[in-house]
Structure 1
Amino acid sequence: MCDRHILFGVNARAVGKRIDCDDVLFVTDDPRKPIAVVHLTWKFETDPMWPVTNIFNGWQDWIENCMMKDHSDYTNCE
């Protein structure tokens, strides 16, 4: 990622990955952006908008605004 990306310089640890796409769930050391979902692009990006990253304020925020919708979308497409 480029040096203007929202997670540049933030310590992050991958804790999960969607099985149907390249979205990875990260926990960070930054209390302003504790949970992040990153859609990996598998190349060096020069645009700070890539990789696409969604920040969540904590686990409950991620559950309500990401996991539940993703689960519904995934289970309803089978």
Structure 2
Amino acid sequence: MFRETGDLPGAWYYLKSDQGRRQVLESELVNECGSDQHPMFGQRVEVVACCGTCDEVLFKLLDQQGWAIVHLTWRRETDSSWPACEVVGSWSNVLEEMIDHGH
């Protein structure tokens, strides 16, 4: 399990103490990734953080090294380009993506 340490940039915040919210977000990811062409289809993940001003969520990939920042749409998707997703390999890249996020 990933251990949250340090502050996150902008409106991002950790969800380690909110198990209910984490379960909702993990279930929503599964629901939205309806196409086996989506990079998150079938991935085992753990919710780490989310943005307080939009629907972006940071997931730790459990079957490989890396992270995914996913923009949830809150509907079942059939287009493999949704939900929008950025997979990054290191924690420093995650922080860069969060900073580039713009709010």
TM-score normalised over the length of structure 1:
0.80
SS at match of 1:60: helix
Matches within 5 A, 1:9-20: 9-20=42-53
2:40 matched residue in structure 1? 7
Give ranges in structure 2 of 5+ residues lacking alignment.
Answer: 1-32
Identity %: 36
Number of matched pairs: 70
- Mapped pair 1:21 → 2:54: yes
Q: What's the Cα RMSD here?
A: 1.3
Measured in 1, the distance between the counterparts of 2:85 and 2:39 equals 8
Q: Give the match for residue 36 of structure 1.
A: 68
Q: Distance in 1 between matches of 2:95 and 2:74?
A: 26
User: Aligned to 2:91, which of 54, 59, 62?
Assistant: 59
- Structure 1: which 5+ runs fail to align? none
